[in-house]
Amino acid sequence: MNGLLAELGKRLAERWLSLLVLPGALFLAVLLAGARLGHGDWYDIAALPGRLDRATGTLTGSTAHLLVLLLAFLLAAAACGVVVQALGSLLERLWLAADWPGWPTPTHRLVRRRIARRRSRYDRWRDRVGRARAAQHLDGADPDTAALQVAVARHRLHRVADDRPDRPTWTGDRLRGVESRLRDDLGVDVTVVWPHLWLHVPDTTRAEVTAVRETMTRAATLTGWGLLYVCVAAVWWPGALIPLVVAATGWVRFRAATDAYATLVEAATRLHCRDLAQQLGMGNSGPLTRETGTALTAYLAEGTPPPPALRLPIPQ
């Protein structure tokens, strides 16, 4: 037991150091360097060591002062990491927008306008996909050109949403699209079934889904660091490039990770939901049907027994 606790403590310390202290220390170092350079002498990198020596010379006069300064620096770095993780959680909630009707009332008008604009773009590109497909069947149409036009239109449509938008962001609609397709195709409410399915799927599937979900969290946290680096731009104007690059990178990674996460959740549900239903005593020998999915959702949500036609015989 002592060995287990020691190993756990070691891993927690490593995680605390890598996620909070090291990125926070880098941020504080860049912020301190930018503050010493300022807006006027932003280019005078050669004079930076001397300025830092003069600024910290009175604080490092003894070993005790140096230890106190180091401890304060590490605590400040960890505090920056905690703030960024909170920002990352907030950004993740905003980007997924699953609960946007529960946001403060003044934001509802802005969200509805955003959704209306996205729906207009979706309808426009959906019409272009239809026209491009119709053009493929016209007499004299070049097959390669027509196929390219269809591919371009479908790509632009996917960049808006897979289904008609219902949330203000692409990432939110990407996950909502999975919920809609599973409900329409299989009668499965993934928000109800997924916790039970998660305990049923193999370890390899859980590992894949967990890894992608952690990638989403890290991408949101990276964007949070980009927001925090705005403080550097406030004291050293060349630092304005840092938050732009970091935040843009975080957003691109979050979008890609959300796409992968939605794909894995849908694939895991389609592959293993039938086995879950049969383990609970319902279904049939063929693929998962919409009737079985509806019965499974009702059973897991409210405890409603499946209809007699879907009940499997009890093994003797």
Cβ-count burial 84-113 (b if 16+ within 10 Å, e if not): bbebbeebbebbbbeebeeeeeeeeeebee
Rounded CA gap, 131 and 125, in Å?
10
Owner of token pair 């409210």: 302
- Residue 225 and residue 30 in contact, taking contact as beta carbons nearer than 8 Å: no
Identify whether the C-beta of residue 311 lies closer than 8 Å to the C-beta of residue 282: yes
> In degrees, to the nearest 5, what angle opens at C-alpha 262 toward C-alphas 184 and 155?
90
Q: What is the pLDDT, as a whole number, of residue 111?
A: 94
pLDDT of residue 62: 63
Task: Provide the pLDDT for residue 184.
Answer: 92
Q: Per-10-residue mean pLDDT for the chain, 316 residues long?
A: 45 58 85 77 64 58 71 86 92 93 91 94 92 81 82 89 91 94 92 93 94 94 94 87 94 96 95 91 84 92 85 63
The phi and psi torsions of 158 (rounded to 5 degrees) equal: -65, -35
Tokens 């592959």 sit at which residue?
Answer: 271
Round to whole Å and give the CA distance between 92 and 141.
46
* Nearest alpha-carbon partner for 192 in 101, 306, 294: 294
Nearest residue to 282 via CA among 251, 254, 314? 314
Structure tokens at 116: 């209306």
